[in-house]
Amino acid sequence: MKKIMLIGETGSGKTTLKQALNNEKIRYKKTQSLEYSKNILDTPGEYIENRRYYNALMISSVDYDIIGLVQDCTSEKVVFPPNFTSIFNKKSIGIITKVDCYNADVKIAEKYLKQAGVEDIFYVNSINGKGIEDIRRLLQ
């Protein structure tokens, strides 16, 4: 099974996505440090929100096969710099979360992820399971 590292802003849904992928009970929990769970590394939002933590992301990525950039489509904030994925020598994917929310703007989330350098984008709602199987298949 492939291993994935999840990167995204605080509140983007990384931990909830990790819980859904691992068939865990969904419960909100603020990620304070790198959290390893089975084949998933959940990173704190502060690691992408503050450039001084980029080295921690690069070093942590060594043991992972896929880098997952997580973008909340209800947020207008972009935290991924242009061509951000180029700092990793790994396959990078985009994951758009909260796609079923009433204020979702999937098009702007796609734009942010494509500018960051991802080609493949997955659309998920971790609460109702939409798109989760697609990511599980990728990890097989």
Mind listing the domains of the chain with CATH numbers? Answer: 4-139 (3.40.50.300)
Residues 104-137 have pLDDT tens digits of: 999 999 999 999 999 899 999 988 989 999 999 9
Are the C-beta atoms of 129 and 20 separated by less than 8 Å?
A: yes
pLDDT score for 28: 77
Residues 63-95 have pLDDT tens digits of: 999 999 999 999 989 999 999 999 999 999 999
C-alpha span between 101 and 97 (Å, rounded): 9
Average pLDDT over residues 9-30: 89
pLDDT score for 58: 95
pLDDT score for 133: 96
pTM: 0.94
Q: What token pair was written down for 25?
A: 């009970």
